[in-house]
Structure 1
Amino acid sequence: MINIQGLDKLTKELDQLSKAMAELDGDIAQVRFDPHDPASIEQAIQQMETSLDARVASYAGNKTVMSIANDMKEKYREGILEKAAQARLESNDEGEV
């Protein structure tokens, strides 16, 4: 007879991963910011991270879920920074004659 150790733990982690992915599906947060105000941009990033953290808080012991959440935070942070930079460029272009 073969005894496989850790299968229950793996099953539990995969179940948690599935539930966490359902929690992370869709909009995480709607944030607004002034692209010319670094503090406003940072506040939007913090709001997004707080919202994402709240969605995965019950899976804090699952390394895979937390890794995915951290990757998502970085992706969304970069997205916010890119949108702010684009908005600044567009406002500069409109102001030039």
Structure 2
Amino acid sequence: MKIKGLDHLSKQMKQLEKFMKEIDGSLGEVQFDPFDAESIEQAIINIENMIDQKSENYLNNPMISKIVGNLKENYRQNIIDKAAEARVNTDEDA
């Protein structure tokens, strides 16, 4: 008895492993002005573009697509949090 779909799943798992190795470590750096909403949004766009570049070879892999969505959301929130923290710290220093 042959179970269908295992070859496809195996391929997806190998792609997932390769993708995870590619994003291990730093994706890149973004700079932004925490007092400038456009600068914050541009930083988010830049990090999302970096993630898209790393994942462009795996667009048909649903496991990677889900990770990409989560990565983008996590980085977005991280940038927003860092900007808010910088604004609070500046207010406290004043």
Give the alignment's TM-score, normalised by structure 1: 0.94
Give CA deviations for 1:13-48 in whole Å, capped at 9, x if unaligned: 110010111111111120100000000000000000
Q: What letter corresponds to residue 77 of structure 1 in structure 2?
A: R
Summarize the alignment of residues 40-55 of structure 1 with structure 2, pairs less than 5 Å apart: 40-55=39-54
Summarize the alignment of residues 1-97 of structure 1 with structure 2, pairs less than 5 Å apart: 2-95=1-94
| Number of residue pairs the alignment of both structures matches | 94
State whether residues 29 and 48 of structure 1, in contact with CA within 8 Å, keep that contact through their aligned partners in structure 2. yes
C-alpha separation in 1, matches of 2:71 and 2:93 = 33
Identity %: 41
Give CA deviations for 1:22-76 in whole Å, capped at 9, x if unaligned: 1111111201000000000000000000001000100000010010011011001
C-alpha separation in 1, matches of 2:89 and 2:75 = 21
C-alpha separation in 1, matches of 2:72 and 2:28 = 12
After TM superposition, give the deviation of residue 7 of structure 1 in Å.
Answer: 1.2
Give the alignment's TM-score, normalised by structure 2: 0.97
